[in-house]
Amino acid sequence: MTEFKKENPKLTADEKLNLLVEFGARISSELRLDKLLDIIARQITRMLDVGRCTIYLKDVERNELWSKIAQGRGLEHTEIRLPLDGNNIAAIVARNGETINLTNAYEDERFSMAIDMVNDFRTHTLLTIPLKNNNGKVLGVFQVANKADGTAFDKKDEGILLLLATLAASSIEIAKLYQDVHVAQLETIYRLAVTAEYRDQQDTRAHLKNISIISYLLALALGMTKKEAELIKNASPLHDIGKVALADNILLKPGRLSPEEFEIMKSHTIYGGRILEGAHSKVLQVAHKMSLYHHEKWNGTGYPKGLKGEEIPLEARIITVADVFDALCVSRVYKKAWKTEDAYLHILSESGKAFDPRIVAAFKKIFPSVRKLYTNQTPAEENIPTQTLPTQTGTAQNKISLS
């Protein structure tokens, strides 16, 4: 849902044509669904010179329509959901596939004022058209409100919006498919990680969540882009996948391992590397580095290859700090949990020995946020993902359901 104050004079025919060309070029190259919908909504808002554009997509499993709020009283990134079998304009258009054009929205009994109340917006005129794919299947609806010149929407406006919807439909379908594949990949990664971690963890989900968040924050603190940090976060749960190859009498031994047993334990890095080697996925390529090298040490005394300093892949150096800190803070079959402050001091003491000093310095910066993970508090920083593992939509967000 996009809305803004009018800043430019009315567009000329040539300017509208240029926007149409730009519209096609931009949407054809964007695979991220949220970003794509934002681009579409903003372009439509400019081309039709309207006060607001809303894109609703069908969620067939929930029998709902959903849309993101782009602006409005601090509700950015909030998701609005409408029942698909409801009597509101968007649901009606999504069901029957026909255009509805209101010249006075508040006088039409089908119009719901609830959405205006949520967005702090007053709808006067409203044009809603179906978003259909090449087979005529309705994917959702496009809805625009309040022409800047105060007039009602005419047949020309309907035609332009239908054209834009036709151009956008295939891009939206591709982006939805890409998102579904991405979420499925993350879910597979998570379930593989659980397979390995479940054997010696009392709370597998908490461990995977913690190392994912810590790794993500470390990556950002080191100056990585958000996209690079996301790769680190999503790959981190697989760092110990090689544990699946270890026998229970080694992995679950409550006491100290003998030298022979420890050599067997160290082999989980080799097994992890073998499981993930040759992957084409970027996430699995990062996970391969993590699984093989997360027990290497900055001073060269680690295993399996005794790499030193920057010979160790950066991804592995990051997960090493995150994994050791969380391992110290939680109970395992062979140890009790450390106090958070003691674990923090241990990380600092190993700077230049086990850990890359630059990553330890980054850990010091993010520690106030990390500490909250272990005191049942919500991390304060806006960059911390509140849900690092895939759900039905792949991310956590606020939701408002309206009938």
CA-based torsion, 23, 29, 31, 34: positive or negative: negative
13 by DSSP, 3-state: which?
Answer: helix
339 backbone dihedrals φ, ψ, rounded to 5°: -70, 145
% of the chain surpassing 70 pLDDT: 77
Between CA 25 and CA 22 the distance in angstroms is 5
- Strand spans (E) along 120-278: 126-132, 138-147
The length of the chain in residues reads 403
Between CA 94 and CA 57 the distance in angstroms is 9
> Do 243 and 291 form a contact (C-beta atoms < 8 A)?
no
Residue 69 confidence (pLDDT): 59
Domain boundaries, the chain: 2-177, 198-399
313 backbone dihedrals φ, ψ, rounded to 5°: -55, 140
Residue 5 confidence (pLDDT): 43
> Do 279 and 360 form a contact (C-beta atoms < 8 A)?
no
Segment 155-181 mean pLDDT: 83
Q: Does residue 313 surpass a pLDDT of 80? A: yes
Residue 53's beta-bridge partner residues? 2, 144
Task: Give 198-399's CATH code, choosing from 1.10.1670.10, 3.90.550.10, 1.10.3210.10, 3.40.50.12780.
Answer: 1.10.3210.10
Residue 74 confidence (pLDDT): 46
What's the CA angle centered on 194, arms 189 and 200, to 5 degrees? 145
Residue 72 confidence (pLDDT): 44
Residue 175 confidence (pLDDT): 79
Q: How many helices (H) and strands (E) does the chain have?
A: 14, 8
Query: 105-114, 137-146, 203-212, 389-398: lowest mean pLDDT where?
Result: 389-398
Q: Does residue 220 surpass a pLDDT of 70? A: yes
Between CA 329 and CA 397 the distance in angstroms is 28
Residue 348 confidence (pLDDT): 97
Sequence-distant (6+) residues with CB within 8 A of 151 are 125
27 by DSSP, 3-state: which?
Answer: helix
155 by DSSP, 3-state: which?
Answer: helix
Residue 352 confidence (pLDDT): 96
Task: Give the residue with greater pLDDT, 191 vs 312.
Answer: 312
Task: Give the residue with greater pLDDT, 188 vs 45.
Answer: 45
Segment 346-367 mean pLDDT: 97
Query: 10-24, 150-164, 259-273, 381-395: lowest mean pLDDT where?
Result: 381-395
Between CA 89 and CA 79 the distance in angstroms is 18
CATH code for the domain defined by 2-177: 3.30.450.40
Between CA 271 and CA 321 the distance in angstroms is 21
Segment 99-112 mean pLDDT: 90
Residue 398 confidence (pLDDT): 61
Q: Does residue 280 surpass a pLDDT of 70? A: yes
Q: Does residue 381 surpass a pLDDT of 60? A: no
CA separation (Å) from 326 to 30, 207, 208, 263, 339? 37, 7, 9, 23, 11
Residue 19 confidence (pLDDT): 64
% of the chain surpassing 90 pLDDT: 39
Segment 225-243 mean pLDDT: 91
> What element of type H or E holds 214?
helix 204-221
Residue 61 confidence (pLDDT): 86
Averaged pLDDT of the chain? 82
Segment 323-349 mean pLDDT: 88
pTM reported for the whole predicted model: 0.57
> What element of type H or E holds 81?
strand 78-83
Residue 291 confidence (pLDDT): 94
Query: 13-27, 131-145, 158-172: lowest mean pLDDT where?
Result: 13-27
